Chain A
Amino acid sequence: MDLPAYVARRLLQMVPVAVGVTILVFFMIHLVPGDPARTMLGTHATPQRVALLHKEWGLDKSLPVQYERFMSRLVHGDLGDSLFYRVPARQLIVDRLPVTLWLIIYGTGLSILIALPLAAVAASRRDAVRDQVVRVVPLVGLGFPSFWVGIMLLLAFALNSGRFFPVGGYGHGFSGHLRAMFLPALTVAIAIAPILIRSLRASLLNVLESDYITTARAKGLPERHVLVRHALRNAVISTVAVLGVNIGYLVGGTLVIEQVYALPGVGQLMINSIFQRDFPVVQGVTLVFAILVVLVYLITDIVHSLLDPRVRFE
């Protein structure tokens, strides 16, 4: 099977996943105690006004009927209107999605930039001091929760003496985004890079013992050349899968980081909507997250196949 056919099939497989997610999310959010009408009207609202809002929002119908309405709108690309902002939920999400995508892609890019050289440095001299340092120091990053790392980075580089980066916000234009999103992306990278470094170092050490590395050395190639062209390329293959899983995990993790850095992303929208019981938006965001995760895995598989000619699409 060639690549386009494979991608098309994988995208089709996404439909049942998405449907499953809608069912789960739809019914689970109604299990959560709380009422959007009461949230909006306040604690002193009369039962009549609450009932009126329920009727307006269609919340007086039975759950299956509500689900059916939700789904019939969804097939037309309509996620329903936000109960609070009174604009289409889709609009809210589409407006905020770029911020979240920026955060994920920027953070992933940074973590790769950090992990590749460190893993290579560690693996090039096994058990040497530099190897020990690379093995231990990133673990510290892994041990701290993202919200704490975020706050510390803000204190160090955005507040007090070092005001190199804005405290929050998304910035304007490409270079503005690059600067404004640096600390959030670094927070992401600090969480992911240690896992990447460990995985990459281990697979590099494994690869460096293989016969084709001896062949490369027997050719008299410089050691750098052996490491970069022969070892790294092979070692990266198994790390791509690890990275994919972590980005998938990160999609949900953006919630916290967007909150710390006051980024107007989908994660922040999600948190606010949950507190307000804004059902259509929560459903929409969850659906978008689910699709993002599936897309990340698809991209991981495509990257894997590009790196490893032995992989065939099935």
Chain B
Amino acid sequence: MSDGPILEVRDLRVELPLSRGTVHAVDGASISVAPGQAFGLVGESGCGKSMTLRAIMGLLPRPGHIVGGEVLFEGEDLVTASPGRLRQIRGGSIAMIFQEPMTALNPVMRVGDQIAEAPQVHLGLSRTSARERALDLMRRVGIPDPVRRARAYPHELSGGLRQRIMIAIALSCDPKLILCDEPTTALDVTIQDQILKLLLNLRREFGVSVVFVTHDLAVVAETCEQLAVMYAGQIVETGSVDEVFRAPRHPYTLGLLRSVPDFDSVQDSLASIQGAPPDLVMPPPGCRFHPRCPFAQEDCISGEFPLRPLSAGRATACIHPDAPAADVERMPVVADV
């Protein structure tokens, strides 16, 4: 499977039956991640990007569940895989890093033991050699004085160190793919930068593929090669980071790019996208973005809006991709990525 994508999500559908109705959290999302690639999944809060990530791992929060689609990891469908097989893959071949390292670490377990757990299960290491491995991993993710820190509890460490522990946990069984759910959102800006650089270095060193889920376009610009933009449970645009940032072909992507403040942008004032994301119990008909879209036309308010290929590796769900393109012509978004 070395040629094909390491991860391919096809037409994934996730629903959460709540008392007020069924939330269509992910509604036909498809992404494809090549081996060794860094892939960004971008969108606002509640657009379904974290749900997509959780669904890949089979770890949807209650009462969410997958109602359709495939998650192919090295060609094997994880949606239909047995619980035992899923456990082998989780932590072994696919690892995950969460947004909030304080709550994602067990508060009453020493961090060294938390790192050593997975190698005991997946690599069959003894307790002692798993501990040795944990110390080694802590060194590699840049934790000073690992012998002392391994005996610490999460609350005794700083946010940055805690996230390094999470990264060490993720790396502990030499995974092929790491899923990062907003890995830097909960951290200070300076620490964010350190953690991103660390992830980039480790990616090169270990040769793993990484999927970043984030709302922070700066993170994507810094770390990813390929990206997918998600809106209201659907993927609305895909392509290389370079091309999408330079020439967005979906009004939502354009809006996101225009509303980034700390960016080498040529605009004078900060724009924001009008309106609020739709309720996913009853999403709007037609293009889900049309109520907020400045370029919306008659034909946007009904029908299906699947991704349409533009060129090699590029696709957009917008049926008027020239409109955002013309807008970028007038006023470029990014001076240089």
Residues on A lying within 8 angstroms of B by beta carbon are: 126, 209-212, 214-222, 225, 229-230, 233-234, 237, 307-310
Contacts and interface: CB of A to CB of B under 8 A. Distances in A.
A222 B103 contact: no
A237 B121 contact: no
Contacts of B88: 220
30 contacts: A126-B62, A211-B98, A211-B103, A211-B104, A212-B107, A214-B54, A214-B59, A214-B61, A214-B98, A215-B166, A215-B169, A217-B59, A218-B59, A218-B91, A219-B121, A219-B169, A220-B88, A220-B89, A220-B90, A220-B91, A221-B118, A222-B87, A230-B106, A233-B108, A233-B109, A237-B108, A308-B107, A309-B107, A310-B153, A310-B155
Nearest to B62: A209
A307 B153 CA distance: 12
B7 interface: no
A98 B91 CA distance: 52
Interface in B159-176: 166, 169
A290 B115 CA distance: 46
Interface string B101-115: 001111111000000
Contact of B104 (A209, A215, A220): A215
Interface residues of B, number: 31
B96 interface: yes
Contacts of A237: 108
B153 A220 contact: no
A211 B91 contact: no
B292 interface: no
Nearest to A214: B59
B18 to A, nearest CB: 15
Contacts of B153: 309-310
A192 to B, nearest CB: 24
In the complex, the 6 A-B pairs of residues with the closest C-beta atoms, listed nearest first: A220-B91, A220-B90, A219-B91, A211-B103, A219-B118, A218-B96
B233 interface: no
B248 interface: no
Interface in B74-92: 86-92
Given A214-B59, A218-B59, A220-B91, 15 more contacts: A214-B98, A214-B104, A215-B169, A219-B169, A220-B122, A221-B87, A221-B91, A221-B121, A222-B87, A229-B109, A234-B106, A237-B108, A308-B107, A309-B107, A309-B153
Contacts of B177: none
A215 B106 contact: yes
Contact of A212 (B95, B96, B105, B155): B105
A82 B62 CA distance: 64
Contacts of A230: 106, 109
Contacts of B104: 211-212, 214-215
A149 to B, nearest CB: 35
Contacts of A215: 96, 98, 104-106, 166, 169
Nearest to B86: A220
B117 interface: yes
Contacts of B122: 220
Nearest to B95: A218
A219 B106 contact: no
B108 A309 contact: yes
B225 interface: no
B57 interface: yes
Contacts of B121: 219-222, 225
Give the one of B57, B61, B106, B117 with max A CB within 10 A: B106
A211 B96 CA distance: 12
Contacts of A307: 108
Nearest to B153: A309
A308 B107 CA distance: 8
Nearest to A210: B103
B243 interface: no
A221 B57 CA distance: 13
B100 interface: yes
A217 B118 CA distance: 10
A210 B105 CA distance: 10
Interface string B25-59: 00000000000000000000000000000100101
A222 B92 CA distance: 13
Contacts of B62: 126, 209
A108 to B, nearest CB: 22
Nearest to A218: B96
B103 A234 contact: no
B92 A220 contact: yes
Contacts of B54: 214
B87 A220 contact: yes
Given A309-B153, A310-B153, A310-B155, A221 B117 contact: yes
B106 A216 contact: yes
A221 to B, nearest CB: 6
A234 B108 CA distance: 7
Contacts of A225: 121
Contacts of A234: 106-108
Contact of A211 (B95, B100, B117, B169): B100
Contacts of B109: 229-230, 233
Contacts of A126: 62
A207 to B, nearest CB: 10
Given A214-B59, A233-B108, A234-B108, A219 B90 contact: yes
A220 B90 CA distance: 5
A310 B106 CA distance: 12
A233 B155 CA distance: 16
